[in-house]
Amino acid sequence: MARWIIRKAVPADINAIKSIEDRVQPCPWSKEGLLREIEDKDGKTFFWCICPLISPWEILGYICFRILGRECYLLNISIDKSCQGKGLGTILFRYMMRFLKRRKATRLVIDVHKENKEAMSFYSKRGLLLAAPVEKVRGNFCVMEMKLFQE
């Protein structure tokens, strides 16, 4: 039986999410920025948390992505430090991919900080490719992308 559940984040989760964000992200989002995405006023952003089945209010990590037309922008995926490397990021990523399949999304795009080699390795093992070689990227972020479901 599954040990985790994935559920929609709600505004009451903000403090738990913000403290994970501050612990694990090299450039953490502000509380206001996180809350804006959780509230999803335009109906295009999805913000989900992964929690233990027996304690669904305890957040271990989260994923946030936006679907614009047929393209998906993965904005954030974070797993709390003590839970990293146990497969939870993969579970969230796969869950998003199944959702994107149902939505018939055609492309997945991610901005990754140039120095975040662990995240780049995570994404490339899951099929994303760098849009340009890291050495050629001018700013701090490189684009990684993946073609999805073609009709």
Task: Point out which residues pair with 72 in neighbouring strands.
Answer: 67, 108
CB closer to ligand COA out of 144 and 148: 144
Of residues 92, 91, 52, the one with CA closest to residue 74: 92
Among 78, 142, 144, 148, binds ligand COA (CB under 6 A): 78
Taking CB under 6 A as the rule, which mask of x and - marks residues 118-137 in contact with ligand COA?
A: xx-xx--x------------
In order of 101, 105, 111, the CA distances from 149 in angstroms are: 7, 6, 20
Taking CB under 6 A as the rule, which mask of x and - marks residues 88-117 in contact with ligand COA?
A: xxx---------------------x---x-
Tell whether residue 25 is a contact of ligand COA (CB under 6 A): yes
Of residues 131, 138, 79, the one with CA closest to residue 108: 131
Minimum distance, C-beta of residue 151 to ligand COA, in the bound complex (Å): 29
Minimum distance, C-beta of residue 60 to ligand COA, in the bound complex (Å): 9
Secondary structure in 3-state letters for 35-100: HHHHHCCCCCEEEEEEEECCCCCCCCEEEEEEEECCEEEEEEEEECHHHCCCCHHHHHHHHHHHHH
CB closer to ligand COA out of 24 and 130: 24
Please report, as ranges, the residues that interact with ligand COA according to CB under 6 A. 24-25, 76-79, 84-90, 112, 116, 118-119, 121-122, 125
